[in-house]
Amino acid sequence: MELLHAFGLDIRIFLAQLINFAVLLWLLHRFAYQPILKLLDERTKKIEKGLEDAQKAATELTQASAKREEILTQTKAESKTILDNALLSAGKIKESIQKEAEEKAKEIVRYATAQAQEEKNKMMAEVKGEVLALAVEITEKILGEQVTELRDKKYIERITK
């Protein structure tokens, strides 16, 4: 103890300071250190949760991008199929319209040919009638008498042929 006195230490003051230090340490631990640790733990948890959420969002973004690419690929394939079907249908429609137009054109040509043939037959009948009338007239003038149809029918037919 004398050694402590030699250094200028008083045991009572030393014990009082030790008790004060212990009380101060306990108070700091109780009211400062634990709330700071709690705050740091909460902050750490928030940061970890934020990192997890960011990682989860990045994973979801990657999955969404992959799904978007898949949907785009599928949509492109479907649109190509639809376009090919539309082109095929358009080709079929074009062919049917062309066939129908050709058939109508052939029908018009047949009708025109039939009309022309009918017209030709009419004209031939008219010409034949006129030729017969002229032949009868010429024959009457040549023979000087009236030609009857019953008597000279064969004669007239032979002349007109």
Helices (H), 29-148: 34-143
pLDDT at 143 over 80: no
- Return all residues near 15 (Cβ < 8 A) that are at least 6 apart: none
Give dist(CA 160, CA 134) in Å, integer. Answer: 10
pLDDT at site 94:
94
- Judge whether residue 103 has pLDDT over 60: yes
The residue ranges of every structural domain in the chain are 2-160
pLDDT at 13: 87
Chain center to CA of 146? 89
Average pLDDT, integer, range 10-22: 90
| pLDDT of the residue at 42 | 95
- Single out the residue of 25, 1, 27 nearest to residue 14, CA to CA: 1
User: Is residue 5's pLDDT more than 80?
Assistant: no
52 pLDDT exceeds 90?
A: yes
Q: What is the structure's pLDDT at 145? A: 59
| Average predicted confidence (pLDDT) for the chain | 87
At 108-137, the pLDDT tens digits run: 999 999 999 999 999 988 888 888 788 777
Task: Please name the residues in contact with 14: beta carbons below 8 A apart, sequence gap of 6 or more.
Answer: 4
SS3 assignment, position 128? helix
| pLDDT of 77 over the 90 cut | yes
Predicted local distance difference test score (pLDDT) of residue 11: 82
Hey, which of 124-128, 138-142, 155-159 has the most confident mean pLDDT? 124-128
